[in-house]
Amino acid sequence: MATQPSLPINVCIIEDHADFRNTLRTAIDRTPTLSCFSAFSNAEDAFEHLSQSSSPDIIVLDLGLPGIDGIEAIPRLKELAPEAKVLILTVFENKTRVFQALGAGASGYLMKASGIKSIIQGIEDAHNGIAPLSADIAQMVFATFSAFKPQTNEAEISEREVEVLRKLADGSTRIEIADQLNISRHTIDSHVRNIYRKLHVHNVSGAITKAAAMHII
């Protein structure tokens, strides 16, 4: 029994620049796996059409639209076409715009400067569950999330260093700690230097304060 050919991915374009819209529409229709479902110059016309039509698979959305802004349009598009994935295609690299779009429900964010070939690949990736991001956008997103990585015991304070920290917090001197732990003063000094380096501090009070805030002691 012959295998039924898979249906093409239906794409809706919302882009106000006529030349770019037509270029993208032609490229989509020339791609065997894709088909241009419809194309509009503004969000309002797209809303009207989607309210009376079946949902596309992918909506390619420009942000700088006349009338309703692209970011404002995303929730309404998701309401009218809940099965569709919204793929941003724009010239804006502004971090705020990127996170506003992704936060509003966009499934990917591509730059027009990436070129038609990359855009076509991004549409196919979005349909296959891969969130397409232009290289610069991906770097921005990952850098932002890395900056907000929670501070935990990843400083890798050893058990012995924690023991030294606790004794310092109790008011013991380094000589006293060396005697209590039956190790040399040189070893205690080495532990303290490691603690300072791992906690990014420069004195005992700073180490104790930070260790307490991180629930190390």
Q: Residue 15: pLDDT above 90?
A: yes
Q: What is the DSSP letter of 57?
A: S
pLDDT band for position 180 (cuts 50, 70, 90): very high
> d(Cα 111, Cα 99) in Å, to the nearest integer?
14
pLDDT at 147: 54
Q: What is the mean pLDDT of the chain?
A: 87
Q: Residue 2: pLDDT above 50?
A: no
Domains 9-147 and 153-213 share a fold: no
- Please state the domain extents for the chain: 9-147, 153-213
Q: What topology does CATH give the domain 153-213?
A: Arc Repressor Mutant, subunit A (1.10.10)
Q: What topology does CATH give the domain 9-147?
A: Rossmann fold (3.40.50)
Q: Residue 205: pLDDT above 90?
A: no
What is the mean pLDDT of the segment spanning 48-74? 94
pLDDT at 95: 78
pLDDT at 201: 81
What is the mean pLDDT of the segment spanning 169-190? 90
> d(Cα 192, Cα 79) in Å, to the nearest integer?
58
Tell me whether residue 177 is exposed, middle or buried, using C-beta atoms within 10 angstroms of its C-beta: 0 to 12, 13 to 18, 19 or more.
buried
